[in-house]
Structure 1
Amino acid sequence: MSRSLTTSSQMPSRHKVPGGTYFFTLRLRDPHATLLVDHVDILRSAVSLARKRWAFEIDTAMILPNRMHMIWHLPDQDADYAKRWRLIKSAFSRNLPDSVTPQSEGRANAIWQRRFWEHLIQDEGDLALHRHLAITAPISAGLAKRAGDWPFSSLYRRNRSQSAQRAARSDRDHLKPGFRPVSEVILDTADLH
């Protein structure tokens, strides 16, 4: 990892370190709810909105029916992960269908647990441990037999993307020299018009 990780002697209170790498767990109030996977597109949009407004990198993401785990890298000079989570939680809650959420208390308060758990990643071993915790969460919850099988994770999306790239390379390997895939030819002819 190219970022420098902070040692515990450098940690200010509340673990707010500009440019830090953090592991987060957020939970829904209802432990039996399935809102996060039922409305994963709304959640993705809320995360995308937060990333556009206040940049951060997602290292790992694991979305379970009633909780999520994420590892973020914050930009240098910025340690305010709380404002990002406020936006994600409120945008997700506001965009759910009316039939899903009670109107009392405010939507975000009705859906999410008030607090979330954060952990400042200390070093490469700590990062590996928390990646493992996130990636194996669907197995621990009895939702998947293998980590890569759970569709609501960065691991699944990464594996699917890598499989598509391998398939594309494999398809090109079977072509005779000088021939190109039809999709490339179509793109070239579209540029002529």
Structure 2
Amino acid sequence: MSHHTSQFCPAPIRPVHSAYVAVTLRLADPSDDSLVRHVRLLRDCVALSQQRWGFSIDAAVVLPDEMQLLCLFPDADFGTHGAIKLICSAFDHHLPTHGGSVWAAETEVLEIADAVAPLRREFIEAAPVRAGLVESAGDWPYSSAHQGAAQSGEMGVAVA
């Protein structure tokens, strides 16, 4: 017996589920350090995107030319790409004295299983050590691993 869906019978609605999503955004120019030079602007752009798309951030690190986030979206199929686009376009729009987009053409977006999320958090927070910027992850001021940095506001990437 074949299964037939009538045009009068809508497809079942997929239940909404929260999902971890790992996002890596890179600048087109690897020698550019705009992300750390303008970390407050980047933080505001992320906060704006959070307000619009309703996601939380479990871990974050901002390197000179790269930002990595571990986000929890209400539904991984809804909002992830819109949130990324808003972060990038807002940063581009408000970046002083820069025309065009500073971002690399490709963005890494991975849905992460709940069981793997703690490992991804460790991976993200260890990025400055892997990059040779610090000896200990907690020494990098632009990371959720950094506990001593003064924070401004309550939203956005929890980095200095």
What range is the shorter-chain TM-score in?
Answer: 0.7 to 0.9
Alpha-carbon distance in structure 1 between the residues aligned to 2:31 and 2:75: 38
Q: Which amino acid is the alignment partner of residue 160 of structure 1?
A: G
Q: Which amino acid is the alignment partner of residue 137 of structure 1?
A: A
Aligned counterpart, 2:45: 46
CA RMSD of aligned residues (A): 1.7
Change (3 A) 1:47 1:77: closer
- Aligned: 1:140 with 2:130: yes
Q: Which has the higher strand share?
A: 2
Q: Which amino acid is the alignment partner of residue 125 of structure 2?
A: I
Aligned counterpart, 1:181: none
Q: CA deviation at 1:18?
A: 4.5
Q: Which has the higher helix share?
A: 1
Contact map agreement 2:19 2:114 (CA 8 A) in 1: no
Q: CA deviation at 1:78?
A: 5.8
SS in 1 for 2:69: strand
Change (3 A) 1:132 1:94: same
Q: Which runs of 5 or more structure 2 residues have no equivalent in the other structure?
A: 1-15, 150-160
Alignment of 1:1-193 (within 5 A): 18-76=17-75, 79-98=78-97, 101=98, 103=99, 107-108=100-101, 111-124=102-115, 126-156=116-146, 159-160=147-148
Comparing 141-150 with 74-83, which one deviates more in the overlay? 74-83
SS in 2 for 1:59: strand
Alpha-carbon distance in structure 1 between the residues aligned to 2:125 and 2:76: 29
Contact map agreement 1:20 1:79 (CA 8 A) in 2: no
Q: Which aligned runs of 4 or more in structure 1 are off by greater than 6 angstroms?
A: none
Alpha-carbon distance in structure 2 between the residues aligned to 1:23 and 1:145: 24
Q: Which runs of 5 or more structure 1 residues have no equivalent in the other structure?
A: 1-16, 162-193
Q: CA deviation at 1:130?
A: 1.0
SS in 1 for 2:29: coil
SS in 1 for 2:145: helix
Q: Which amino acid is the alignment partner of residue 85 of structure 1?
A: I
Instruction: Give aligned pairs, total.
Output: 134
Deviations 1:119-139 (A, max 9, x none): 111232x11221111011000
Structure showing greater radius of gyration is 1
**TM-score after normalising by structure 2:** 0.78
